[in-house]
């Protein structure tokens, strides 16, 4: 339910690809290969050194191409970062098999699976998430991107909370939007603390506790939790 890694995210389709990409996409196969190599190299370098501490020359060296070629495909360092973050979205959009419970699973199981999937996706992309946090403080464009991402999930969760309330399964005195933001925030910050800053957590236990806290917070009736 948080920042869910299970569905496409808006900015990958609209906010990024449209207004920020000005270079023509490659037309030849060779060009496509070079562009891909640059994106992959950029991811490697960014994950290793961060955005600020990386140099374009590191990326082109890693991609085994010249610095001039970089500008055939990207306008700037920022733009290749956008492409790298898009590729992260691609990953988060295709969770591993069996991540989501099927059929008439209990509420608890659904929430827990969602939380677990989020943590797993975050783990795979922890360095890039750190990157996103880093550049969000540097460039309003990325701040907007960061916020947009959070908004997407908050809104989605907001709808789900409202459904639960209407089904008599959640505390109706809670404002759905605020509650959604609060619960999403909880897990995204925990992922950041644990997977980026390195606070040691027992992740199985953590997911269980978070799930309980959500159910408690929403006051899902004991006998309907699953």
Partner DNA sequence: AATGAATGAGGTTTCATTCAT
Partner DNA sequence: TATGAATGAAACCTCATTCAT
* Sites of contact with a copy of itself (CB under 8 A): 50, 52-53, 130-131, 133-134, 136-138, 143, 146-147, 150-151, 171, 173-175, 178-179, 181-183, 185-190, 193, 196-199, 201-202, 205-206, 209-210, 212-214, 216-219
Name 8's Cβ contacts closer than 8 Å, sequence gap at least 6. 89, 93
Kindly indicate which of the ranges 19-27, 130-138, 148-156, 165-173 contains the residues binding DNA, using the contact rule CB under 7 A.
19-27
**Count of residues that bind DNA according to CB under 7 A:** 22
Counting contacts by CB under 7 A, is residue 27 touching DNA? yes
Counting contacts by CB under 7 A, is residue 68 touching DNA? yes
Name 53's Cβ contacts closer than 8 Å, sequence gap at least 6. none
Give the span between the Cα atoms of 225 and 130, in whole angstroms.
34
Give the span between the Cα atoms of 83 and 17, in whole angstroms.
8
Tell me whether residue 102 or residue 205 sits nearer to a copy of itself (CB atom): 205
| Of the residues 7, 17, 33, 167, which one makes contact with DNA according to CB under 7 A | 33
Counting contacts by CB under 7 A, is residue 222 touching DNA? no
Place of tokens 């959009």: 93
Tell me whether residue 20 or residue 192 sits nearer to DNA (CB atom): 20
| Of the residues 28, 137, 198, 200, which one makes contact with DNA according to CB under 7 A | 28
Q: How far apart are the first and last CA of the chain?
A: 17
145, containing H or E segment: helix 140-166
Structure tokens belonging to residue 34: 């070079």
Give the span between the Cα atoms of 74 and 38, in whole angstroms.
9
- Partner whose binding site includes residue 50, from a copy of itself, DNA, none (CB under 5 to 8 Å by kind): a copy of itself
Within positions 43 to 62, which residues make up the interface with DNA, using CB under 7 A?
54-57
- Partner whose binding site includes residue 34, from DNA, a copy of itself, none (CB under 5 to 8 Å by kind): DNA
Counting contacts by CB under 7 A, is residue 36 touching DNA? no
Quote the strand ranges of the chain, DSSP E. none
Angle at 114 (CA atoms; ends 136, 151), nearest 5 degrees: 35
Minimum CB distance to a copy of itself, residue 172 (Å):
12
């Amino acid at each position: 339910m948080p920042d869910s890694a299970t569905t496409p995210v808006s900015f990958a389709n609209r906010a990024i690809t449209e207004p920020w990409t000005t270079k023509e996409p490659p037309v030849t196969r060779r060009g496509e290969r070079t562009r891909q190599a640059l994106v992959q190299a950029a991811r490697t370098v960014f994950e290793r050194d961060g955005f600020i501490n990386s140099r374009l020359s590191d990326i082109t060296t890693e991609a085994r191409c010249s610095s001039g070629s970089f500008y055939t495909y990207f306008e700037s360092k920022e733009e290749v970062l956008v492409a790298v973050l898009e590729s992260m979205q691609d990953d988060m959009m295709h969770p591993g098999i069996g991540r989501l419970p099927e059929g008439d699973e209990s509420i608890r199981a659904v929430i827990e699976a969602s939380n677990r999937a989020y943590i797993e996706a975050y783990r795979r992309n922890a360095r890039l998430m750190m990157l996103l946090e880093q550049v969000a403080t540097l460039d309003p464009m990325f701040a907007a991107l960061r916020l947009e991402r959070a908004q997407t999930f908050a809104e989605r969760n907001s709808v789900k909370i409202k459904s639960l309330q209407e089904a008599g399964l959640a505390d109706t005195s809670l404002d759905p939007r605020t509650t959604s933001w609060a619960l999403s925030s909880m897990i995204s910050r925990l992922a950041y603390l644990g997977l980026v800053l390195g606070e040691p957590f027992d992740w199985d236990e953590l997911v269980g506790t978070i799930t309980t806290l959500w159910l408690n917070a929403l006051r899902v009736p004991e006998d309907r939790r699953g």
